[in-house]
Amino acid sequence: MSEYDDDDYTPRGSSAAAWVMPMITVMAALLVGLLAGVMMGFLVWSGSKETVLVPQQMSNEEIDALCSPYVDEAVGEAADELTVAQERVATLQDDVFSKEREVAELEAEMARRAERGRSLVAEVESLREQLEEARTELTTLKEELATAVEEKEELFVQLRFTEEQLAEQRVETYVAREDALSFKWQTFMTASQLEVCEKGGRRRMGRCRETVTEKLAAFRTEFEHCIRSGQEMPSLSEADRNQETVPMFAQWLDQDERITRDWYVLLCDPTLPEAEGWDAPLTP
């Protein structure tokens, strides 16, 4: 038989809890009271010299009142953070929904394109064959073009060489014709002097030749025109004693001069054009 009744039995753990909790509460109250006393003392010391009685022990209600603002502030901060987190979750949910819809649309589009691509395989193969054929033709055309360019360059060089030779030939021809024309003029002058001045002394013959040369100089342009137009070379003739007119296209040498009286120059048709090749060649 136990020394204690069942009604008086108290578990050891319950007894420990019964005296530990009040001790914690008392210590917390003392700490809070100490802090409050220090603060009140500081305020009293710095503000006034009145004596303030500070309670040495606070009740549970006072402790709750003192701690409630800090708890409310912590609760408020936690609530704000929770609100921000909820808003971020809502935003991310919207983004996820939009991205899922975009992915679904892209998958559907890829499926449509794949189906359409299968129907275009034949066309793609045909285009590939056409492309290869066109590339082959392009290569051939480029080779032909290169050959044509080389041939053109060779022809251009030959053309320039031919033009240079032709220009030289034209110059030579022009010089030769001018030399021939000058020779014919000198021949005409010499023959005319011999015909007019066939008798007389040396002094008289010299003066006669000078006079004939001077009078014939006025006919050089007409003389050259006859040669260049391919007509007969002009000649000098003496009129009969009773002849008063000269043939067509003929002109008196000088009827006022005793030496050249009754002598005329038989020219050609002045209206006929000159033949080709008498113009001076152009200089490059």
Which tens digits make up the pLDDT trace of 205-237? Answer: 889 999 999 999 999 999 999 999 999 999 999
Q: Calculate mean pLDDT across residues 130-145.
A: 90
Tokens matching residue 156 = 């251009």
Q: Calculate mean pLDDT across residues 79-107.
A: 84
Domain boundaries, the chain: 14-90
pTM over 0.85: no
Among 9-13, 156-160, 200-204, where is mean pLDDT lowest? 9-13
Residues 239-277: pLDDT tens digits? 888 888 889 999 999 989 998 899 999 999 999 998 877
Residues 6+ apart with CB under 8 A from 260: 196, 211, 212, 215, 253, 254
Q: Please check whether residue 40 is in contact with residue 54, taking contact to mean a CB–CB distance below 8 angstroms.
A: yes
Residue 264: phi and psi, rounded to 5, are -135, 155
Angle at 169 between CA 166 and CA 170, to 5 degrees: 85
Tokens 């009740």, residue located:
59
Residue of 270 and 128 predicted with greater confidence: 270
Q: What percent of the chain has pLDDT over 90?
A: 24
The whole-angstrom separation of Cα 46 and Cα 283 is: 121
Which pairing describes strands 235-238 and 263-266: parallel, antiparallel, or unpaired? antiparallel
Tokens 């008063």, residue located:
244
Query: Which pLDDT does position 236 carry in this prediction?
Result: 92
Query: Which pLDDT does position 176 carry in this prediction?
Result: 84
